[in-house]
Amino acid sequence: MSTMKLKLNIDELTDDFFEETRLLGITATTKSYRFCWTINNMIGFDFRLNPDIEIHLQKKGRQYFFPVYQFNVPSSYLSHYIYHNQYDGEYLLPEFKHMDFLWLMKGEMMADDDCHTLIQAIRKINGVQLVAELTNEHIKNKGNLVF
């Protein structure tokens, strides 16, 4: 009897995860819970910490935990996720060390006008220094965002 080995194709899994997504990078001088609370109050979202999709990475023999906040748009397939990009000196996306938060929109493609309006609203939040859309081609470690 022969044993068959199955291999998970991580690149294919990552590509599927990033279908119909947009990603924003945000630099802000605030804690993640405070940032989400401000978004909820100023923009009208309802972000909640989702410990089930917290990102766990192991580097240099240490464990790193990156919290993820989630908001599902009612009557839509669109979900928003905010990742904290830094934990104890490590980065979820090391190529974007200057970004404190990563905002992923997934499930239903957000229109350019809606995304631009959201970016402008985020920029008005006190403590936000930078908001930029990140393209998939520039993300080297996008597999780190997959939950």
Distance CA 45, CA 37 (A): 9
As a whole number, the mean pLDDT across the chain is: 88
Average pLDDT, integer, range 93-117? 93
Distance CA 16, CA 18 (A): 5
Chain Cα centroid distance, residue 17: 12
Alpha helices in 47-123 (DSSP H): 112-123
Q: For position 5, what pLDDT does the model report?
A: 66
**pLDDT at residue 6 tops 60:** no
- 50-96 per-position pLDDT tens digit: 999 999 988 888 999 999 999 999 999 999 999 999 998 899 999 99
Distance CA 96, CA 26 (A): 10
Distance CA 119, CA 113 (A): 10
